[in-house]
Amino acid sequence: MNALENLIRQLSRLPGVGAKSATRMAYHLLKCDESYNEKLSDAIGTIKEKIHKCSVCGSYTETDPCELCSDPKRDHTLLCIVEQPQDVMTIQNSGIYNGMYHVLGGAIDPLNGVGPEDLSFRELRERIKNGSFSEVIIATNPTEEGDTTALYIRHVLQDTGITVSRLAAGLPIGGDLEYADRLTLARSIKGRVSF
Amino acid sequence: MNALENLIRQLSRLPGVGAKSATRMAYHLLKCDESYNEKLSDAIGTIKEKIHKCSVCGSYTETDPCELCSDPKRDHTLLCIVEQPQDVMTIQNSGIYNGMYHVLGGAIDPLNGVGPEDLSFRELRERIKNGSFSEVIIATNPTEEGDTTALYIRHVLQDTGITVSRLAAGLPIGGDLEYADRLTLARSIKGRVSF
């Protein structure tokens, strides 16, 4: 296997990249500016040294605690619980949330052997006990595993007196009723809001 | 900008990769095996040192001349002219061609200031003069620039007595007449073959 075939092979292991896209990328890298190759190679090679999990919320960060956890301007009485570190970025990008985060590191999924003990529930209990949270927003995915995890979180929080809410499920904005799947439509009818 | 944002930014400069795919890739790289990051980083960082243009045909290679040019089992009387190095791989993958290649390095495109002098026509003339080619297959893209380039190649070869052919244009195999675009359909009607 020569260097070009090796590069294509390594690129095609990235998520969402097939053989054709990997080939296109490889030829692009051969043609483009040398300095870009160096920057990209360096960014990939050093990412694991530079980025770690925040010891408070569990999201990825360069500093510890992360910028969000150590920002006094954010609302430290509001906690949003998500499955993955990238969910923090997604919610941050929406621009509507100004509280704290807690990353579970996944969802409860008994079929794949993931139980509550494999997720950061111990840390969650600690934070709830020592923190001053008045509301928790559950932002697990609207999937079976996310639903199970949401139920478990509610169970964990039941005697704390903290208000618990969950992200609304329903039709995506800009979507078309005709193209909505059966389950989403059922959820949006069941969860209809007064108007 | 932190290391993660930088990685996402560098990844999103790859062809066909938008902000969302780049983010997905970056989080994948944070989660996956450290050895993969090293392999990928290394493959990207060293590709330009390892891969060069073949001095004979102009395609990318680790050895010079490339494996195809130096293979005595291939038909050295047949020459296929392509625009880009990646076209060599595409035609090789079809498994039907066993001759030599010549990479022009692009197509004649006056609107973007690319003339014949910017492509490897001088090398092509040399190869034709010194080689023993009996047939040339023009495999430029079925675009306006590719058509112009094909006409120019025919002009270059006109007094050499070499048979000149061009790849057939028409309906893609497995395609649907209904979805064929107007130009392709027109080409396939104009170029209809006896049956």
Residue reference for tokens 């439509």: A185
pLDDT at A151: 95
Q: Which amino acid is at B89?
A: M
Task: From chain A, pick out residues whose CB is under 8 angstroms from the CB of B54.
Answer: none
Per-residue CA distances from A11 to A18, A111, B52, B87, B184 (Å): 8, 31, 20, 19, 33
Measured distance CA(B63)–CA(B60) in Å, rounded: 9
- Nearest alpha carbon to residue B33 among A59, A84, A48: A48
Cβ atoms of residues A51 and B4 within 8 Å: yes
pLDDT value, residue A186: 83
Opening angle at CA B58, ends B52 and B60, nearest 5: 40
Chain B positions touching chain A (beta carbons under 8 Å): 2-4, 6-7, 10-11, 13-17, 21, 23-30, 34, 36-48, 50-51, 60-62, 84-86, 89
Q: Considering only the beta carbons, identify the residue of B3, B29, B48 that sits closest to A34.
A: B48
Give A83→chain B minimum CA distance, Å. 13
The pLDDT of residue A53: 93
In the predicted model, is pLDDT for residue A1 greater than 80? no
Residues of A in contact with B26 (CB under 8 A): 47
Q: Which of B11, B14, B47 sits opposite A30 (nearest CB)?
A: B47
Q: Please give the residue of chain B at the shortest CA–CA distance from A50.
A: B3
Q: Identify whether A65 is preceded by a cis peptide bond (ω within 30 of 0).
A: yes
Kindly report the nearest CA distance between residue A106 and chain B, in angstroms.
12
Residue of B nearest to A41 (CA): B41
3-state secondary structure chain B: CCHHHHHHHHHCCCCCCCHHHHHHHHHHHHHCCHHHHHHHHHHHHHHHHHCEECCCCCCEECCCCCCCCCCCCCCCCEEEEECCHHHHHHHHHHCCCCCEEEECCCCCEHHHCECHHHCCHHHHHHHHHHCCCCEEEECCCCCHHHHHHHHHHHHHHCCCCCEEEECCCCCCCCCCHHHCCHHHHHHHHHCCCCC
Q: How confident is the model at residue A182 (pLDDT cuts 50, 70, 90)?
A: confident
Max CA pair span of chain B = 64
Is the ipTM reported for this complex over the cut 0.85? no
8 Å CB contact of A42 and B46:
no
**Which range, of A54-68, A170-184, B100-114, averages the lowest pLDDT?**
A170-184
Q: What's the confidence (pLDDT) of residue B7? A: 95
Residue with tokens 């980025």: A51
For residue A34, list chain B residues with Cβ-Cβ distance below 8 A: 48
Tell me the longest C-alpha to C-alpha distance in chain A.
Answer: 64
Whether residue A45 and residue B25 make contact (CB cut-off 8 A), yes or no, is no
Measured between beta carbons, which residues in chain A are less than 8 angstroms from residue B41? 41-42, 44-45
Asked if A39's CB is within 8 angstroms of B44's CB, the reply is no
Confidence of residue A192 (pLDDT cuts 50, 70, 90): confident
Q: What's the CA gap between A88 and A85, in Å, rounded?
A: 6
SS3 A78: strand
Give the pLDDT score at B192: 83
**Does the pLDDT at position A80 exceed 90?**
yes
B82 within 8 A of B89, measured Cβ to Cβ: no
Helical segments of A18-176, H only: 19-31, 34-50, 85-94, 121-130, 144-157
CB contact under 8 A, B3 and A85: no
Over residues A34-45, the pLDDT tens digits come to: 899 999 999 999
Per-residue model confidence (pLDDT) at position A176: 82
d(CA B11, CA A173): 29
A45 to B41: CB separation less than 8 angstroms, yes or no: yes
Q: What percent of chain A has pLDDT over 70?
A: 100
Question: Phi/psi at A15 (nearest 5 deg)?
Answer: -65, 135
Between the alpha carbon of residue A177 and those of residues A14, A170, A181, A187, B27, the distances in Å are 34, 11, 9, 13, 33
Those residues whose C-beta lies under 8 Å from the C-beta of residue A99, and which sit 6 or more positions away, are: A74, A75, A76, A77, A78, A79, A80, A135, A137
Tokens of A147: 């639903």
Asked if B60 lies within 8 A of A16 by C-beta distance, the reply is no
Q: Assess contact for B74 and B68: CB atoms under 8 A.
A: yes
- Sheet with B78-82: list strands edge to edge: B100-103, B78-82, B135-138, B163-166
Which of B4, B21, B46 shows the shortest C-beta gap to A60?
B4
Q: Coil, helix or strand for A157?
A: helix
| Closest by CA position to B9, among listed B22, B20, B28, B21 | B22
Residues with pLDDT less than 70, chain B: none
Tally C-beta pairs within 8 A across A and B.
130
Q: Which amino acid is at A97?
A: Y
Question: What is the predicted pLDDT for the residue at B23?
Answer: 94
Ramachandran angles phi, psi of B81, nearest 5°: -100, 125
